[in-house]
Amino acid sequence: MFNLKNLKYIFLCLLIVSGLYFAILLVYSFNNEPDIKDIGVIKFDDIISNQSLTSSQELILDNQNDEGFSYKLIGIRSGGKDSSVVVKKANKEYLVAVGEMLEGKYELIEVTSNSAVFRYSQKMYRITNDEDN
């Protein structure tokens, strides 16, 4: 049976070993420097694509052309960067702000006074607010 003195020495040895381990890690972290790599100068013209999705009106489709995108626009809140729309599909309504995803699939790109533009992959969908609601 261990007596109290032996138990105290075992606990003290464990404490010293763990303290030395953390002291070594601390010294190592002081000597560790980040590896910063030079990637050169990136020109803005290299980033811009030749085919812009928002300026090409041929890629913007009406929601009636695609069976997968069958949302109806029922509300618009204009506010610049804080613009949002309320769309409805079947019996569910969704509130989507600019830059957010609709059902994790369609991203809201643009909101105007009577329409909204969503993007999915390379396709863009414009839905308009019907006044007969």
Q: Could you tell me if residue 26 is inside a domain?
A: yes
pTM as predicted = 0.49
Residues 71 and 26 in one domain: no
Residues 117 and 68 in one domain: yes
- 75-97 pLDDT, tens per residue? 888 776 778 889 888 888 888 88
Q: Could you tell me if residue 48 is inside a domain?
A: no
- 23-36 pLDDT, tens per residue? 999 998 888 877 77
Q: How many domains does the chain have?
A: 2
Cβ atoms < 10 Å from Cβ of 63: 19
Q: Could you tell me if residue 47 is inside a domain?
A: no
Range of the domain at 3: 1-36
CATH number of the domain that residue 97 is part of: 2.30.30.830
